[in-house]
Chain A
Amino acid sequence: MIEILHLTILITILVAGFFALWFRNLLSSIISLAVLSLFISLEFFYMQAPDVAIAEAGIGAGLSTAIYIIALRACGKKQFRKEGER
Chain B
Amino acid sequence: MNPLSVVARTVCNLFAWFLAVFGIYVIIHGHLTPGGGFQGGAVVATFMAFLLVAHGGKKMQSWVKKDIFTLMECGGLTLFITAGLLGMSNTFFFNFLAKAGGLFGSVVPMGPNPGALNTSGTIALMNLSVGLEVVGGLSMILLYMFSGAHPEESFGREEAGHDR
Footprint of B on A, CB under 8 Å?
50-51, 53-55, 58-59, 62-63, 66-67, 69-71, 73-77
Contact = CB atoms under 8 A, between A and B. Distances in A.
Interface in B120-156: 138, 141-142, 145-146, 148-151, 154-156
5 contacts: A50-B34, A51-B36, A67-B142, A73-B1, A75-B154
Contacts of B154: 74-77
B45 interface: yes
Contacts of A74: 148-151, 154
B43 A54 contact: yes
A63 B151 CA distance: 19
A71 B34 contact: no
Nearest to A74: B149
A32 B50 CA distance: 18
B83 interface: no
Contacts, number: 71
Of the four ranges (under 10, 10 to 19, 20 to 34, 35 or more), the interface on chain B belongs to: 20 to 34
Contacts of A71: 145, 149
Given A76-B154, A77-B155, A55 B149 contact: no
B73 to A, nearest CB: 16
Interface string B35-64: 110110011011001101100000000000
Interface of B: 1, 23, 26, 34-36, 38-39, 42-43, 45-46, 49-50, 52-53, 138, 141-142, 145-146, 148-151, 154-156, 159-160
A73 B35 CA distance: 32
A75 B146 CA distance: 12
Contacts of B23: 58
Given A63-B49, A76-B154, A77-B155, A70 B36 contact: no
A47 B164 CA distance: 43
Given A73-B155, A77-B155, 4 more contacts: A55-B38, A58-B45, A70-B52, A71-B149
A62 B34 contact: no
Contacts of B150: 74
